[in-house]
Amino acid sequence: MNTYFNIKDSLYDITKKYPETLDIFVSSGFEQMKNEEMRRTLGKTLSLEMALMSKKINTDLFINKLIEVIKENRSLTDESLSTLKRSKAADIRIDGVLPCPVRIPLMENFNKWMEEEQDKFDFTVDYELKAASSGIDWIKNAVEKAENEDCLSDIFISAGFDLFFDKKLMGKFKSKGVFEDITNFQELNRDFQNKEINLRDPDSQYSIIGVVPAVFLINKEELKDSEMPRSWEDILKPEFENRVSLPISDFDLFNAILLNIYKNHGEDGIKRLGKSLLKSMHPSEMVKSHMKRVDRPAITIMPYFFTKMVKENGPMTAVWPSDGAIISPIFLLTKKSKKDKTKPFVDFFASKEVGEILSHNGRFPSTNPDVNNNLDKEKKFMWLGWDYINSNDIGNLIKECERLFNESI
């Protein structure tokens, strides 16, 4: 029984009373809730019932997810979820962001592991692991200011092509060989190391523990007479101009989409992607959607996790792209100079237990070879590739893709 909120309650009231639910709203497509001013304006006029109807999201599944997050948060203090007291004097420092849908179970397991293991450590540990919806600017700022590797944290966990490959950020340390992959997997999970894809870093610097796949959510009512899109090439067709919702606020996933479209379809592909963006989906129009019909996207590109909230027998259907779900990798970086101390932490984050939380709880497939990601053989992934990453200035390439995309909107 739900004793926390009513379906008629406004989004503002729910998120004000239960701030921990904000991550779920943002990740489910309510990006405007990330902005405090929009929460006060739009959020006060939009009920939970109206919001879920506008997105055609399964009400029961979404409410259950909110309740689950609230219950878990009640049993954990905010301090235990995110950080120990920050100390520059700590021997080992860990910084990162975790995918919103699995952050709480991951932190529960990590805190439990720390309680069991910390007496074995002859060094001090300091960590801060925030929700992905909070962004990674705080990490970027610290990395940009770092003059040498001693100024860096010892372990980083996050998605983000710009953070890890921009030559002004982590890229300047990558080129100096500061990091080392110490996961010691003989082989990665067969979903990610086969004849079509290989996520293992050939330079043995970066580790990848999981991925965030981007898939299509198709509104069959809005699709009308158009043929069901099955691939990324289909999304770029003229018939879908101004009919696609893109995860622009999810910078990591959006950058992965931009880079892969650019690699496979060039500048023209980025321009066509910009033209596909549904321009009429302004938050102010959502408020009035119960009074008049507004244009809704025929296609929503979103993380695989949120497709499980789709109503059965409803107008929405999930499509895994035939040419592969574009992936934003979840990187695990470890400084080579501290590997004797960081090895137990790397083993934890790369473990089967963590992999199953990522894969089974969050539908973020794991690279751990012992995890069953429960994926059909036809579900392929689209990966930028290490050769492409190492032969391009990824930071500048992202900026160029953003420029082309914005100019075409």
Q: Using DSSP, state whether 241 is helix, strand or coil.
A: coil
> How many residues in total does the chain contain?
409
Radius of gyration in angstroms for the set of CA atoms belonging to the chain, rounded to a whole number: 21
Rounded to an integer, the average pLDDT of 175-195 is: 95
Q: Is the pLDDT of residue 341 over 70?
A: yes
What is the reported pLDDT for 296?
Answer: 79
Q: Which top CATH class is 213-325?
A: alpha beta
Residue 151 confidence class, pLDDT cut points 50, 70, 90: very high
Contact (Cβ atoms closer than 8 angstroms) between residue 244 and residue 254? no
Residue 215 has pLDDT above 50, yes or no: yes
- Give the pairing of strands 207-219 and 299-303: antiparallel
Average pLDDT of the segment spanning 252-275: 97
- Is pLDDT at 293 greater than 90 in this prediction? no
- Give CA–CA dist 98/207, Å, rounded: 15
> Residue 124 pLDDT more than 80?
yes
Q: Please identify which residue in the block is written with the tokens 């809704």.
A: 296
pLDDT at 288: 39
- Work out whether the CA dihedral 260, 265, 271, 277 comes out positive or negative: negative
CATH number of 11-74: 1.10.3910
Fill in the DSSP letter of residue 360.
I
Max mean pLDDT range (35-49, 125-139, 331-345)? 331-345
Cα 253 to Cα 78: distance, rounded to the nearest angstrom: 27
Where exactly are the structural domains of the chain?
A: 11-74, 213-325
207 vs 211: CA distance, rounded Å: 12
Q: How confident is the model at residue 41 (pLDDT cuts 50, 70, 90)?
A: confident
Predicted confidence band at 279 (pLDDT cuts at 50, 70, 90)? low
Whether the CB-CB separation of 303 and 210 falls below 8 Å is answered with no
Over the stretch 342-371, which tens digit does the pLDDT of each residue have? 999 999 999 999 999 999 998 999 999 999
The Cα–Cα gap between 231 and 216 comes to 9
Counting residues of the chain whose pLDDT is more than 70, the rounded percentage is: 91
C-alpha dihedral, 97 to 99 to 105 to 106, nearest 10°: -40
* Confidence (pLDDT) at 83: 43
Signed CA dihedral, 161, 163, 169, 171: sign only:
negative
**Average pLDDT for 394-401:** 96
Helix-then-strand count for the chain, H and E: 19, 9
Looking at every residue in the chain, the average pLDDT score rounds to 88
| Weakest mean pLDDT among 19-28, 104-113, 120-129, 311-320 | 19-28
Report how far residue 146's alpha carbon sits from residue 170's, in angstroms, rounded to the nearest whole number: 10
CB 20 within 8 A of CB 26: no
How far apart are alpha carbons 35 and 51 in whole angstroms? 16
